[in-house]
Amino acid sequence: MRPLIDLRKFAVTLPAVLLPCAAVAEPARHQDILQLVDQRAAHFSETSKAIWDHPELGYQEEKSSGLLQRELVSAGFRVQAGVAGEPTGFVATFGQGQPVIGIMGEFDALPGLSQAATPNRNPLVADGPGHACGHNLLGAGAALAAVALKEYMERNHVAGTLRYYGTPAEEGGNGKVYMIRAGLFRDVDVILQWHPGDENYVFNGGMLANDSARFHFHGIAAHAAAAPERGRSALDAVMLMGNGIEFLREHIPSNSRVHYIITNGGAAPNVVPDSAEMYLYARNPSSVVLNNVWSRILKIAQGAALMTETTLEVKELGGTTNVVANDVLAKVAQRNLEEVGGFAYTPEEKQFAADVQKSLPPDGAKKLESTAAVLPLGARTGQASTDAGDVSWNVPTIGFRAATFVPGVVAHTWQAAATSGMSIGQKGMVVAAKALAITGADLFADAQLIADAKVDFKKQLNGATYQSVIPEFQKPPLDYRHK
C-alpha cells in the first residue's frame, strides 16, 4: 500500500495576474480608484493651471501637448507623438491586449478670449487667446483619470490596453477626424470623454453636426471712383452671399444654425476689392439634414459669384458629425456619476460665483447649489458641435459634463475662461476624472458590458455609415486660425 501524500506540501499560490479583474468587487474597485484620483488631484489641478496660463490655438498647442505628454510618460505610459500629420496630436498607451479602452483629452484655446481668473472682464493679453471652453481642464482631467486608472490596473494586474488620446484643434480644426483617418481608433472597444460645463450630467448623444468653410471670392481690382466699371467686386459677392443666407433661414429646418464672419473685406474703400472672404459654419442635429442645408449654401455662394462675375474658391472645408448615443454605456456612466456626486462651493468660491453671475443676463443665472447635484439621464443633449461626434460614429462612446463653470455661464465666454483658471473649474475637473476612471475600470472588469455596448452601437447606427464632409485629400489645416 502506497503511503498517503500530504498534498499541502505542493500547494501553489496562483499569481494575481491570472485572476480576472472582476475578482475585485465593484465597491472596492471604485473606492480604490477614487482614492487614487484624490491623491493626484492637486498635481493635475496645477497641470490644468499651467495650460491655462499659456493658452494656445488649435494645432499650435506645443506647450500644452508637450506638458501632458511628459506627465503621461512620467506615469509609465508609452507615447507616440505627432500622429495623423498633427504635430501636437499624440497617443499614450499602457498595457497590451484586449480590451482597448480610450480616454480622450483636448487642450486648445479660443481666439480673443484672454481673461484673468477674476469675476470681472479683465483680459490678460489684449485680443489674446483664452481657455473659454475649459480645454485646459479637459486635457488635464482626462490625464488624471488615465493615470489613476493605470495605477489601479498595475496594482491589480488588470489585463488590457488603456489609451489616452491627445486630440488637438477641437475648436474648428477637426483634429479627431484626421486621427480617425489615420486608423488610430480602429481597434478601440470603447471611448470615454468629458467636457466642461455648468452642470453635472451624462452626455449621451445629441449635439449638432457641423460643416464649415472659407468662401473666397476673386474679382478684379479697379479705381472705385475713376473706373468702377472695370472692377468686379469680391466684396459684393461676399455681401450677396450673406444676403442669400439670410433669406435661406426661413426655408431650412428651424433647429438649424448658420453663422459667419467676413474675414477679408478688401484693402481700401477707394479700391474695388479683388479678394474677399466669408468664414461660415452651419449646424443641425442630423448629419443627413445638414448635408441638404449645406448643398443650398454652396448654391448661394455660386450664385453670388455668378451675379458679380467673380470666381469662387471653397477652402478648408471642415465638419463634424452629431454624437451617436449608447444607452448601455449611458446607464453605467449615470450610475457612476451619481456615485461620485458633485461638489460644494467654499465661501470664497460662492462670492466669486455670485460676482460672475452679476455679468449674466437677468434670466441667465442658476442656483449655485446646482454644482452639487447630478441631473437625471437624458436631461441635456447639448447644442454645440464637437469632433468627438466623429469618433462616436466609429467606436461606442460615452461622455460626461462636469460643472466647471459658474451655474448659468456658457462656453466661449470670458466668464468660462475665468472659472477655468481657478478652484471652481478644478473641482469640477476632479468630478469628471473620477467618473471617467471608475467607468473605465468597470469596462475592464466586464467583457459582457463591452459586448452589449457594441450591440447597442450597431442598433443606434441602424445601418448608417460614417462619412466626413472633409475631402479625403485634405490634410490637417495646421495654420487655419492664422490666415
Higher pLDDT, 12 or 456: 456
Output the CA–CA distances (angstroms, integers) from residue 83 to 190, 323, 387, in the order listed: 20, 23, 16
Which of 315, 212, 263 is closest to 482 using CA atoms? 263
φ/ψ (deg, to 5) at 356: -65, -45
pLDDT greater than 70 at residue 483: no
Q: What is the pLDDT of residue 7?
A: 28
pLDDT exceeds 50 at position 85 = yes
Edge-first strand order for the sheet with 275-284 is 257-264, 275-284, 209-218, 311-320
118-175 tens-digit pLDDT: 999 999 999 999 999 999 999 999 999 999 999 999 999 999 999 999 999 999 899 9
Tell me the mean pLDDT in the region 377-390: 88
Q: Quick check: 22 pLDDT over 90?
A: no
Q: What is the pTM of this model?
A: 0.88
Run of H or E residues at 103: strand 100-105
Each residue of 342-354: b (16+ CB within 10 Å) or e? bbebeeebeebbe
Distance from first CA to last CA of the chain, Å, rounded?
A: 93
Report how far residue 333's alpha carbon sits from residue 313's, in angstroms, rounded to the nearest whole number. Answer: 45
For residue 13, is pLDDT > 70?
no
What pLDDT score does 480 carry? 65
Tell me the C-alpha distance between 153 and 163, whole Å. 13
**Inter-CA distances, 348 with 9, 135, 345, 425, Å:** 65, 24, 8, 14
CB 64 within 8 A of CB 136: yes
Provide DSSP, 4-38. Answer: P--GGGG--PPPGGGS-GGGS-HHHHHHHHHHHHH
The DSSP secondary structure of 110-157, one letter per residue, reads BTT----SSSS---SSTT--B-TT-HHHHHHHHHHHHHHHHHHHHHTT
DSSP string, 307-363: HHT-EEEEEEEEEEPPBPP-HHHHHHHHHHHHHH------HHHHHHHHHHHTTS-TT
Candidates 3.40.630.10, 3.30.70.1290, 3.30.70.600, 3.30.565.10; correct CATH number of 21-207+322-461?
3.40.630.10
**Cα(450)–Cα(453) distance, rounded to whole angstroms?**
5
- pLDDT at res. 334: 98
Cell of 464: 448608417
Q: What is the mean pLDDT of residues 371-382?
A: 91
**Is the distance from CB of 445 to CB of 21 less than 8 angstroms?**
yes
d(CA 323, CA 321): 6
List, in sequence order, the alpha helices (H) in 54-90.
Answer: 62-74
Taking CA atoms, 189 is separated from 119, 361, 368, 442, 446, in Å, by 42, 43, 38, 13, 12
Predicted confidence (pLDDT) at residue 11 exceeds the cutoff of 50: no
Highest mean pLDDT pick, 196-210, 216-230, 306-320, 380-394: 216-230
Q: Cell 481608433 belongs to which residue?
A: 185
With pLDDT > 70 as the criterion, what percentage of the chain qualifies? 94
Q: What is the pLDDT of residues 320-344, one digit of tens each?
A: 899 999 999 999 999 999 999 999 9
Q: Provide the pLDDT confidence category of residue 18 given band limits of 50, 70 and 90.
A: very low
Determine whether domain 209-319 maps to CATH 3.40.50.2000. no
Rounded to an integer, the average pLDDT of 207-226 is 94
Q: Distance (Å, rounded) from C-alpha 340 to C-alpha 434?
A: 7
Mean pLDDT in the chain?
Answer: 93
pLDDT of 481 reads 54
User: Three-state DSSP class for 210?
Assistant: strand
With the CA atoms of 281, 285, 291 and 296 taken in that order, what torsion angle do they form, in degrees rounded to the nearest 10? -60
Question: Could you tell me the residue ranges of all domains in the chain?
Answer: 21-207+322-461, 209-319
Query: Does 14 have pLDDT greater than 50?
Result: no
Q: How many residues does the structure list for the chain?
A: 483
